[in-house]
Homo-oligomer: A and B are copies of this chain.
Amino acid sequence: MAQPTSLARPPAPLVGDTRERLLDAAEQLFGENGFDGTSMRALARAAGTGLSAANYHFGSKEALLTAVMLRRINPVNELRIQRLETLEAQAGNQPLRVEDIVDAYLRPVFEIRAASLQRDASSPWLAARVYSDPSDAVSKLKRELFVRVHARFLPALQRALPQHAVRDLEIAQQLTTGLLVHVLSGNVSEGELGSAQDYEAILRRLIAYATAGLTHLPVVPADGAEEQP
């Protein structure tokens, strides 16, 4: 009880280390090879530890995926919503500009990605890979993580584009996510782009493309009959 704290807790210091190395390895390998394409053994080896350590810390492969996803996606989503709220505070009662909404949605991913990349910087962003991963373990997780943000951004889009049906805006929003996923999966710019700092180049094109797509939705009659002459 009267032990000095410097001696009272020797186990703690080197505990969290391998746990985080496992998360790092999982982020990289799941991102590169997918969930089914990554074995727990390869993952433990990349983290410089044994197979059992991984199962000790996370209990299962699926739980490890959940952990690494949460670690990376939650900050992105919080930053997105924070940006949106800042915009709304500045705008008062006026609708936001579509481009600003798109920016608040897309930019945080690139910023956090750039901040958390000591590595190759060319490896795919895990969350994007997960978004199109068909594995059962993955599809459940996906919606829980992203539905909340979509629900938060949709009203902002509605106010900015009041002439369109909610359903159309929802689809356009999902298409925008498709653009993001495609870029972050590494399917765009096999050329000179892709280095760490100048994500601005691809991001500007991405924002421009998405903004145009959202502001030029096909105008359909407000009622159900879409094909009537």
Contacts and interface: CB of A to CB of B under 8 A. Distances in A.
B132 A185 contact: yes
Contact of A171 (B132, B205, B217): B205
B189 A218 contact: no
Interface string A184-219: 010111010000000001101110111111111110
A178 interface: yes
A205 B182 contact: no
Q: In the complex, which range does the number of interface residues on chain A fall in?
A: 35 or more
A216 to B, nearest CB: 3
Contacts of A191: 167, 170
Most B CB contacts (10 A, CB to CB) among A124, A177, A178 go to A178
A181 interface: yes
Most B CB contacts (10 A, CB to CB) among A33, A182, A210, A216 go to A182
**Taking the full assembly, how many copies of this chain does it contain?**
2
A204 B179 contact: no
Interface string A6-26: 000000000000000000000
A181 B179 CA distance: 9
A188 B178 contact: yes
A227 to B, nearest CB: 8
B204 A218 contact: yes
Contacts of A183: 175, 178
Given A131-B187, A178-B181, 9 more contacts: A37-B134, A132-B181, A171-B205, A178-B178, A178-B188, A181-B182, A205-B218, A212-B213, A212-B216
7 contacts: A34-B135, A37-B135, A171-B202, A172-B205, A175-B179, A181-B187, A212-B215
